[in-house]
Amino acid sequence: MSQTWSIRQVDLVSLRLFVAAVEEGTLAKTADREHVAISAISRRISDLEARCGVTLLERYDRGVRPTAAGEKLVSHIKELYRLLERMLVDMESIRSGTSGEILIHAHMSATSGALPEKIAEFAEENPGITVIVDEFTSLDVLHAVRTGVADLGLVSGTVESSDLHMIPWRHDELVAVFPAGHRLTRHETVSLADMLPEPFIGMQRDSALLTLYRHQAYALGGVLLERAHATSFESVRKMVSVGMGVAILPAVAAYPFTESLNIQVRQMTESWARRPLMLCVRDPDLISGATQRLIDHLIKGVDQDTSR
């Protein structure tokens, strides 16, 4: 059987007027209710019948009433309107930020610090919003935000990101980590220059942290003696604890493990050892209400310090 009516030809105004005519029983009352001329209502309903290929209304002297086909169509229209109403409610909740899904890409310093606790708080306060966190290097995070894969990124402020909108979040103290009894632990503070002669345990070769250390070593006229590269702070700590070398880690990934791993931590003298952590989005005018709500939660009450 050929189809004479396609979805592209569906006219919601005509459907609304048809339901109103059925509910009111006369075109005159329908015209008063909908503020539309009787002739326009009659024309739209006639056009609707022509598209359907069946009679929808029985017209008689005192009013109108639906045919069997008309009653079936009214049932479908009301179901359609319920779906449309749900659509509007859902879109409004997403716009206002009360529901939705947020994909965050974050570098390891953020996921090892305050972020998990802040996300847990947010999830409890906003049960209609799903937050998914994936851990990547800062460069991968920036790429994901640029291409729209991630809604929100958390990166080190030391990486180049002039094409994205950056929001200051916290500061992250970097500290030197040594095996117990290392000669440099006799000092209260150490510098990168002090550490250059030592075998160095670093993160992935393309990580923002290792890139920062390499640049700073180069500025001193030296290079890092890179003995190993790890994919987690846990691995770095373990290698240092058994004497493979020294490392520089975020304070939150070092101080809590001094006793359990028998490692020692010292503050660093360089100003770059206190680096900014940043939130980043592609375009602040295009982010969802849910993402904006999460950003507001993350920056609310931040003391800007994650040193210990």
Two structure tokens written together for 97: 């930020």
Cβ contact 279:299 at 8 Å: yes
248-281 burial code (b ≥16 CB/10 A, e <16): bbbbbbbbebeeebebbbbbbeeeebebebbbbb
- Token pair of 281, please? 């989005």
CA distance 277 to 118: 15
Give burial (CB, 10 Å; 0-12/13-18/19+) of 149. middle
Looking at residue 178, its pLDDT comes to: 98
- Residue 17 has a pLDDT of 93
The predicted structure's pLDDT at residue 303 = 53
Dump pLDDT digits (tens) for 221-272: 999 999 999 999 999 999 999 999 999 999 999 999 999 998 999 999 999 9
Per the CB < 8 A criterion, the answer to whether 244 and 177 are in contact is no
CA atoms within 13 A on the CB side of 70: 23
Q: Which domains does the chain have, with CATH numbers?
A: 7-95 (1.10.10.10), 100-170+275-299 (3.40.190.10), 173-274 (3.40.190.10)
Write down the pLDDT at residue 7.
72
Which of these, 172, 174, 162, lies nearest to 115 by C-alpha position? 172
Which pLDDT score, from 0 to 100, does residue 275 have? 85
| CA 307 – CA 270 distance, rounded (Å) | 15
SS3 303: coil
Q: What is the pLDDT of residue 215?
A: 94
CA nearest neighbour of 80 among 4, 11, 5, 25: 11
Tell me the pLDDT tens digit for each residue of 116-153. 999 999 999 999 899 999 998 888 999 999 999 999 99
- Given this model, what pLDDT does residue 5 score? 65
Characterize the bridge pairing of strands 129-135 and 100-106. Answer: parallel
Strand partners, 229: 202
Q: What's the pTM value of the predicted model, to 2 decimals?
A: 0.62
Cβ–Cβ under 8 Å, residues 246 and 158: no
pLDDT along the chain (308 residues), means of 10: 64 91 93 93 91 90 91 91 80 73 89 88 92 90 92 87 90 94 96 97 89 94 96 94 96 93 95 91 89 91 51
**b vs e for 36-49, b when ≥16 Cβ sit within 10 Å of the residue's Cβ?**
beeeebbebbeebb
Amino acid 264: pLDDT: 97
Instruction: Look at residue 91 in the predicted model and tell me its pLDDT.
Output: 76
pLDDT for 164 equals 93
Distances (CA, A) of 163 to 137, 143, 269, 303: 18, 11, 32, 27
